[in-house]
Amino acid sequence: MTIILVNLVILLIASFFFGTWIRKLHWVLFGISLGIGIYSFTQEITIINMGYVGLSFFLVVMFASGLNPGKLKKRLMGNRAEYAIMGGIFVLVHGLKYIIYALDFSFFWFAPINFYIGIFSVMIMIPLWITSFMFVRKKMKGKSWKKLHKLSYVFYIAVFIHLIWINNQRMWFYITLCILYVFVKYWDYLIYIKLHDTRKMTKV
Own/partner contacts of 182-186, CB < 8 Å, gap of 24 or more, are 184/63, 184/66, 184/67, 185/66
Sign, CA torsion 8/16/92/161: positive
3-class secondary structure, 70: coil
Task: Identify the pLDDT of residue 204.
Answer: 46
What distance in Å separates the CA atoms of residue 177 and residue 180, rounded to the nearest whole number? 5
DSSP symbols for 152-194: HHHHHHHHHHHHHHT-STTHHHHHHHHHHHHHHHHHHHHHHHH
Helix (H) or strand (E) holding 28: helix 26-42
Rounded distance between C-alpha atoms, residue 170 and residue 164, angstroms: 8
How many other C-beta atoms can be found within 10 angstroms of the C-beta atom of residue 121? Answer: 21
Q: Write down all domains in the chain, each with its CATH number in brackets.
A: 2-203 (1.20.120)
Residue 139, helix vs strand vs coil: coil
pLDDT tens over the chain, length 204 residues: 788 999 999 999 999 999 999 999 999 999 999 999 999 999 989 999 999 999 999 999 999 877 777 888 888 999 999 999 999 999 999 999 999 999 988 888 888 999 999 999 999 999 999 999 999 999 999 999 999 999 999 999 999 999 999 988 889 999 999 999 998 888 777 766 665 555 544 554
Burial of 74 from C-beta contacts in 10 A (0-12 / 13-18 / 19+): middle
CB atoms closer than 10 angstroms to residue 44: 6
pLDDT at residue 105 in the model: 85
